[in-house]
Amino acid sequence: MRAIAQLKDLTSDTCKPTIVRNLSRIMDIRILDIDTENRTLSFLYGNLVAFKKAKRELSSIGHPILKCTFQEPKQRRDSIDYRLNSVTF
């Protein structure tokens, strides 16, 4: 599943290596994009446990998730569409 999280204090490119290093330790997490201008992190996660670990890790390094939009695959016969769900923390 895909998540787009708005992070607190994601202000410059110097934050990116710390986020990448800490989230790369978590299995079933794949970072897609870190956008400092919009303060968002896009990533794929394999299951809810992996998402919770990523959320906890981001909080511990000073970039807690403020708002998160989830994109869950919605299966159709000929293609895959995505539904959007938002959660504010």
CA 84 to the chain's CA centroid? 14
What is the rounded CA–CA span in Å between residue 44 and residue 58? 15
- The domains of the chain are located at 2-88
Residue 71: per-residue pLDDT: 81
CATH number belonging to domain 2-88: 3.30.70.100
CA torsion angle 24 5 9 18 (round to 10): 10
The reported pTM is: 0.79
Lay out the sheet containing 65-75: strands in order across. 29-35, 40-45, 2-7, 65-75, 80-88
The SS3 of residue 45 is strand
Q: Say which range, 26-30, 35-39, 42-46, 77-81, has the weakest mean pLDDT.
A: 77-81
